[in-house]
Amino acid sequence: MVKVRNPKEIEEMVINGSYEQKRIFSIVAHIDHGKTTTSDFLLQRAGLMRPEDAGAMQAMDSDAEEQARGITIFTSVVLLAFDDPRKKGEDSYIFQINDTPGHLSFTGEVSRALRSSDGAILLVDALEGMMTQTETNIRLSVGNEICKPVVYINKVDRLISELRLEPKEVYERVDQIINDVNNLIRELQPEGKDWTVTFAKSQVALGSAKHGWGFTMEILKERNIAPTFVFEKYNEGDIEYLRKNLPLDDSLLRMVIDHLPNPVEASQYRVKRLVSNVDFESDLGKALLTSDPKGPLMGMIAKVFIDPKSFRPTLIGRIFSGTLHQGDTIYLVNRRESFKVKRLGVMEITDLLDMSEVPAGNLFALFGFICPSGESFVSKEYAMTFEDKSELPRFESIKYSCEPVVSRSITPEDPQDLAKLGDVTSKWLMADNTAKFSLNKESGEYILSGIDPLQIEIITKRINRQVAIKVGEPIIVYREMVTKRSQSYHTKSSNGHNKLILYVEPLDKIATQMILDGELNELMDAKSMGKLLREKAGWDAKEGRKTWDVFEGNILLDGSRGLQRLDRIKSYVIGAWREWCANGPFAKEPVMGVKAVFTDASVHVDPAHTGYSEIATMTTAALSLSFLAGAPKLFEPIQKVSIKTPNGSEGGVIKVLTQHRGIIEDIIPDGAYMRVNGKLPAEEMSKGIADDFRGATQGRAFFGYEFEGFEPIPKALMEKYILEIRVRKGMSKNMPDGSNYQRFIYSRT
């Protein structure tokens, strides 16, 4: 039954509605598998769209760029009210839904949406099956964010009307997809949980969002029909009958109600994985485990929506404990700042529906300030009870599946707008913190780095609306790493009054990833870092507590004992270290996976002799000399690729891959198709390889990719790549050998 609620009814359901009737979930899928088309039917069911528009309007793609490109770029959030037709007379359900992007460029939007969700509708294309982003979305939802899944297999109509498969062949295809999904769920699901899905238990729906029909096993039994009924109606050309008698929204509605958890159920197993610095026997801990609206306030900003016309930011997030009121002052845990909530409500795609308060177990939206997505908050009053703000409870950093591997320079058309450009860019990157930017002081231009060229293109278009800019060509971003421990280098400052002894070695992969994920960050105290490094990376606790700084996958440790006046130069050493990490010795590419340890230092008594330039030069010299002595290599970003191509055409795919320095990992039969899985340098992805795949298969191949990691450039090509980068950046045309730093080496005479 369709019932359009007025704002007062919605507010009453959010504030006072039973938790049993609430569901917060995301719809996730590989690009073009049909998420937004599917969402139309939920909007139509809630009375927000005419039945004839469902499946065609794609209302959740509200941004002009999304409409022009035909893809979802930004997660859309909507709150919908439903009645369960099986339970007449009972209270309505509130669904709070995130419609997420499927393109790799915007996978950060998926991670952030899942953080504020309890469940996920995992949507899979019946024809394409499991693709790279399908796998990524299962890892993000089940593995990272502990969101329970149900599955909707879309585009079944294509198996019937395009491939002309017999019912038995369709059933086999569906079973294969379910098995592939379950194999990954089984690997990632929380201990003690069985989140695998079966059609028999109506945890899987089959259908067509394009034609508006769908069914679960429960619906088939209830209506006493066999799945072959669908084939009969397609043979008769009576698709409208299917839409009217097997409405897609009914299947989705039932799966969400019956198999996705309510906020209280989900909190009992989610928050212990997501929140740190919390005693779960405390008032806050107990409130988090029960989503108690009367407990201490704690929530998280999961999304920053910046209106592309007004540029006004709206912060969207989730209350996990307590109640947030309009006019409250909240304390941002990571930024250590307090802000007042000027306007509070819930989102309806692009509109904010005002609320006087939003209790735990609900999404919210607010105006009044801007902060990065992923920020934790508590009430200001609660924060003031902590003398050491580093001990405040906080949510774990959101883990992303990609790293910035492509960059473009951006400069203002008016040089006087350089500072304004920095401010505008930083605000857009608060909304999408999978991208990064920095100022090149020598050239006076900003370098914007992202997952791939499309992400950067979207961000630069947004920036250009506020500041007219010139954008450089896309450039692959490499990483500079050491592969063995170096000797120690003893360096001195320019004036000879300060000295430092330092070495570098490879940082273990676990610690590197903890820093990249933000699990280890500069806001943590040394004791907390030592504990995490011991528990998760197997470090000696004493070593971890000597951490001075973590930055972009690198760590700086104090390996000295009892040195005098060290605090005076600490900030200078860290500043130089960070600058060095951002501009490595090879070719000013970012350094990653380096552990730098200084073991001794001498600091002059007179502060006049310990200025930043003096300390920075000897620190940079010691780091660079050690790096060059650590068997360094240049690493390139690698993409994991999966190409599904008709039987007999796989030879053309393999040829294209090998021509682009690709590696074939396996070739798997998949019905009438072959799936070729492999790895490919990101640099090769920018050379039109998608067109090459289409050309080699007459346009019949499905192509997907995701970030795999960094691997060393082949030895025969490494020097060539380094010199090309150096020339592009205006550096000398010679391989670095440390000669520039020889004058800073201290030797006793």
Domains of the chain: 7-261 (3.40.50.300), 274-395 (2.40.30.10), 406-477 (3.30.70.870), 481-631+733-744 (3.30.230.10), 635-713 (3.30.70.240)
At residue 457, the 3 state secondary structure works out as: helix
> Would you say residue 72 has pLDDT above 50?
no
Which pLDDT score, from 0 to 100, does residue 439 have?
76
Strand partners, 324: 358
Nearest Cα residue to 400 out of 47, 63, 707: 707
Which pLDDT score, from 0 to 100, does residue 49 have?
46
Neighbours of 175 (CB within 10 A): 11
Per the model's pLDDT, the better-predicted residue between 42 and 116 turns out to be 116
Mean pLDDT of 696-720: 83
Mean pLDDT of 575-603: 91
Confidence band for 703, pLDDT divided at 50, 70 and 90: confident
Confidence band for 5, pLDDT divided at 50, 70 and 90: low
Which pLDDT score, from 0 to 100, does residue 3 have?
42
Neighbours of 394 (CB within 10 A): 23
Nearest Cα residue to 230 out of 155, 148, 287: 155
The helix or strand, by DSSP H or E, that contains position 81, with its residue range, turns out to be: strand 76-82
Which pLDDT score, from 0 to 100, does residue 372 have?
86
Which pLDDT score, from 0 to 100, does residue 746 have?
79
Per the model's pLDDT, the better-predicted residue between 462 and 99 turns out to be 462
Tokens of 142: 């089940």
Mean pLDDT of 673-687: 81
pLDDT tens-digit map of 379-388? 999 999 988 8
Neighbours of 70 (CB within 10 A): 10
Confidence band for 2, pLDDT divided at 50, 70 and 90: very low
| DSSP label of 453 | H
Mean pLDDT of 715-743: 89
Neighbours of 143 (CB within 10 A): 16
**Span of 81-85, 301-305, 501-505 with lowest mean pLDDT:** 81-85
CA pair distance 291, 110, nearest whole angstrom: 23
Cβ(96)–Cβ(24) below 8 Å: yes
Tokens of 470: 């010139």
> Would you say residue 399 has pLDDT above 70?
yes
Burial class (CB in 10 A: 0-12, 13-18, 19+), 645: buried
Residue type, 47: G
Mean pLDDT of 480-496: 92
Tokens of 517: 């994920």
Which pLDDT score, from 0 to 100, does residue 55 have?
45
Long-range contacts from 434-443, C-beta under 8 angstroms, 24+ separation: 434/107, 434/108, 434/400, 434/402, 434/404, 435/404, 435/459, 436/404, 437/410, 438/582, 440/409, 442/730, 443/409
Which pLDDT score, from 0 to 100, does residue 527 have?
82
> Would you say residue 686 has pLDDT above 60?
yes
Neighbours of 747 (CB within 10 A): 6
CA pair distance 632, 482, nearest whole angstrom: 4
Mean pLDDT of 349-359: 83
Which pLDDT score, from 0 to 100, does residue 83 have?
78
> Would you say residue 733 has pLDDT above 60?
yes
Which pLDDT score, from 0 to 100, does residue 447 have?
84
**Span of 230-239, 458-467, 517-526, 650-659 with lowest mean pLDDT:** 517-526
Q: How far is CA 323 from CA 260, 264, 282, 286, 356, in A?
A: 23, 15, 18, 15, 10
Mean pLDDT of 620-624: 93
CA pair distance 382, 338, nearest whole angstrom: 12
Mean pLDDT of 177-191: 94
| Mean pLDDT taken over the chain | 84
At residue 595, the 3 state secondary structure works out as: strand
Nearest Cα residue to 677 out of 707, 709, 653, 695: 653
Percent of the chain exceeding pLDDT 70 equals: 90
**Span of 32-46, 366-380, 493-507 with lowest mean pLDDT:** 32-46
Which pLDDT score, from 0 to 100, does residue 646 have?
81
> Would you say residue 353 has pLDDT above 90?
no
> Would you say residue 64 has pLDDT above 70?
no
Confidence band for 272, pLDDT divided at 50, 70 and 90: very high
> Would you say residue 65 has pLDDT above 70?
no
Per the model's pLDDT, the better-predicted residue between 749 and 446 turns out to be 446
Burial class (CB in 10 A: 0-12, 13-18, 19+), 617: buried
Which pLDDT score, from 0 to 100, does residue 38 have?
78
Q: How many CA atoms lie within 13 A of 659 on its CB side?
A: 12
pLDDT tens-digit map of 535-570? 888 888 788 888 899 999 999 998 888 778 888 888
